[in-house]
Amino acid sequence: MFDGKRILITGGTGSFGKKCTEILLSRYTPRKLIIFSRDEFKQYLMAQQFPETTYPCMRYFLGDVRDKERLQRAFHQVDYVIHAAALKHVPAAEYNPTECIKTNVAGAQNVINVAADRGVKRVVALSTDKACNPVNLYGATKLCSDKLFVAANAFVAQDETRFSVVRYGNVVGSRGSVIPLFMKQRLNGALTITDPRMTRFWITLEQGVEFVLRCFKEMEGGEIFVPKLPSVGIMDLARAVAPDCEHTVIGIRPGEKIHEMMISKDDARLTREYDDHYVIRPDNRYLACRFGDDCGAPVAEDFEYDSGNNTWWLKGKELEDLLKATPMEE
């Protein structure tokens, strides 16, 4: 479905955007693949990896999702949008809340409005486990963003544009991940542990991209897709990265959780289970007609999907092999 189409990725110079570009170019023949981001140096570096001379479909578009007028230019004749732009550093968001809100909430609304105005066919927004029952500002802004994208399907009514959300956990080795930090710290013989009980959902960058592209094909508009993922304990991770290092417990940072959650009990009544993922349907009577009862299986009324009560865990050699096979980004 991506052959001959114009695809735009907001925040396209990030970890996800680069891997998504790599996969799209290797498997499909898009008419245009537009990288929309605000960092000219990262665009310059990405253009060395994916030059327009080798990939004539590539376009590099400087801009910020806060700038609606610039989005109007960028979205001209675009078929599909992947919204990956966000300010996502939890402590930085706690200290700079208004900046996070401008990008993650106002920027999301700009993407929605311009996509509808420009007749974009499908938009998939990337979310995070931190958006479920948020305790930090970053999570709260992403929850707002999720709500905006789901509700957008109702206000565009019978228009062609459809919006959906993909929510997944921490990405192995991405910028800001704890793994590059552990790898640096192991040179000094000691790792800093926030809390030994901490757990997180785990996904590779390639798995995340594959899931998002698949959701473009399966989306009806208004749902939140949640992949089934393994959990990782912080101590298991520390031992896998640096088995001989000592550990220093420093306490949880502002806005952190012990366990991350992707589906709460309050969303259980809206959730359907499939072989390898869940779908949270919109709680909106205008959108209910898009979804049949024959798709997926209802979950239990008290169902909750968090990294602490998960039944799938990565440990020992399985975790070590994953770390060895995953490239790390600084």
Q: Which residues are catalytic?
A: 130
Q: CA–CA distance from 113 to each of 104, 106, 107 (Å)?
A: 14, 11, 10
Cα–Cα distance measured from residue 322 to residue 211, given in angstroms and rounded to the nearest whole number? 18
Q: Provide the token pair at 206.
A: 């390639």
Distance CA 35, CA 7 (A): 9
Q: Token digits for 90? A: 């939890």
To the nearest 10 degrees (0 to 180), the angle between helices 137-155 and 107-118 is 20
Alpha-helical regions (H) of the chain: 15-27, 40-49, 68-74, 90-95, 97-101, 107-118, 137-155, 178-185, 205-218, 234-241, 316-325
Q: ∠ CA(144), CA(146), CA(149), 5° rounding?
A: 110
Long-range contacts of 56-61 (CB under 8 A, 24+ apart): 57/25, 57/29, 57/30, 57/31, 57/32, 57/33, 58/21, 58/33, 59/32, 59/33, 59/34, 59/35, 60/34, 60/35, 61/8, 61/34, 61/35, 61/36, 61/37
How many whole angstroms separate alpha carbon 320 and alpha carbon 56?
A: 39
Structure tokens at 148: 């905006």
Q: Are 182 and 170 in contact (CB under 8 A)?
A: no
Tokens of 314: 């990565």
Burial 254-284 (b: 16+ CB within 10 A, else e): ebbbebbbbbeeebbebbbbeeebbbbbbee
